[in-house]
Amino acid sequence: MADIPFIHTHDFKYGIAEPQSTLVTRVTADNPGPYTYTGTGVYIVGTKDVAIIDPGPITPAHTKALDDALVGKNLTHILLTHHHADHSPMAKPLAAKYGCKIYGRPPKKNTVDGTGVQMEAGDDPGFAPDIIIKDGDGFTGKDWSLKAVHTPGHTSNHMCFALCEENALFSGDHIMGWATSVVIPPGGHMGNYLSSLRRIKGKNYDIIRPTHGPAITNVAPFVQAYIDHRLEREEHVFAALQFGHENVMDMVTHIYTDIDKRLYPAAAMSVLSHLIHLCETGRVKCSGATTLAGQYSAL
């Protein structure tokens, strides 16, 4: 597989507003896990009038940490990358408390019908942006300007946000420094995900700040390694079909021999997303619906 230069050193403290740059502060929620790594990193952009990107989960400790971080500041925008429950639930109480608007895109369904599979922290049932945003929309404060970059793939509604003053990208779950991102059909789509990765690579950002884990500074080679990894994984899925594996879980145990079995559900969704993409590109066929229960064969 392509060697992604993952970053597993991450200097942080829970519940503390930690400066990341002149304009960026991060508060990390205490919700670590196999999909959230050390927890949700909430970014505060600006020095006086500020925006928050992905305010995270609702817990008493996290609420206090954000309130402490906002002392002396005017919260003007809450920007959401997508609708997962480790990213967006705090948006509503924050908006009500500080009198600002929530900006984001509505999602499509994020699980495969009939499977009962729940990924990551699950969806946020209360996800309801006040203002629906689109690619290229801009948001400004006294000393900052952000631009929305639509990056469907991880989910259909996934948005990144570019900080113009620092040529930086807040990447949500689209690109992470510590692991690859899971693509969950039908809301997630592998073809869209690959296109979104290539788009980000072409923008030549100086730094990427994911919601989970450390910042990425070797941006171009890191994103290219992400792309190469996905393309190689797709060939592994195709090879598994040629070897005689016809269903998703057989392919998971054949391909993913070195991962924590707790991550098998994520691996299954990744295999399924690759199979759907292979069907769409005419290399694979499925007898019946393209779901976890489908029977697949190479053409």
Q: Is residue 3 part of a domain?
A: no
Query: What confidence category does residue 34 fall into, taking pLDDT thresholds of 50, 70 and 90?
Result: confident
Asked if 210 contacts 265 with a C-beta cutoff of 8 angstroms, the reply is no
**Tens-place pLDDT, residues 124-147:** 999 999 999 999 999 999 999 999
Q: What is the reported pLDDT for 109? A: 58
Tokens of 252: 């998971």
pTM over 0.75: yes
Mean pLDDT, residues 11-40 = 97
Q: How far apart are CA 48 and CA 81, in angstroms?
A: 22
What burial letters (b/e) apply to 86-101, b meaning 16+ CB within 10 Å? bbbbbbbebbeebebe
Mean pLDDT, residues 31-58 = 97
Phi-psi region of 251 (alpha: psi -120 to 50; beta: other; left: phi over 0): alpha
Query: Which residue, of 209, 228, 247, is where some domain finishes?
Result: 228
Q: What is the reported pLDDT for 111? A: 47
Query: Which residue, of 228, 257, 279, is where some domain finishes?
Result: 228
Is residue 69 located within the same domain as residue 189? yes
**How many domains is the chain partitioned into structurally?**
2
pLDDT of residue 266 exceeding 90, the answer is no
In CATH, what number is assigned to the domain containing residue 281?
1.10.10
CB atoms within 10 A of CB 3: 8
Query: Which residue, of 228, 259, 286, is where some domain finishes?
Result: 228
In total, the chain counts a number of residues equal to 299
Closest CA to 65 of 76, 80, 52: 52
Q: What is the reported pLDDT for 113? A: 42
Q: What is the reported pLDDT for 280? A: 97
- Tell me which of 245 and 112 has the higher pLDDT: 245
Asked if 18 contacts 12 with a C-beta cutoff of 8 angstroms, the reply is yes
Q: What is the mean pLDDT of the chain?
A: 94
Q: Is residue 4 part of a domain?
A: no
Q: How far apart are CA 163 and CA 24, in angstroms?
A: 10
CB atoms within 10 A of CB 187: 22
pLDDT of residue 234 exceeding 70, the answer is yes
Asked if 272 contacts 279 with a C-beta cutoff of 8 angstroms, the reply is no
Is residue 155 located within the same domain as residue 281? no
Mean pLDDT, residues 217-228 = 98
pLDDT of residue 110 exceeding 80, the answer is no
pLDDT above 90: percentage of residues in the chain: 88
Q: What is the reported pLDDT for 11? A: 94
Is residue 79 located within the same domain as residue 197? yes
Q: What is the reported pLDDT for 263? A: 84
Q: What is the reported pLDDT for 186? A: 87
Give the domain extent around 286. 230-298
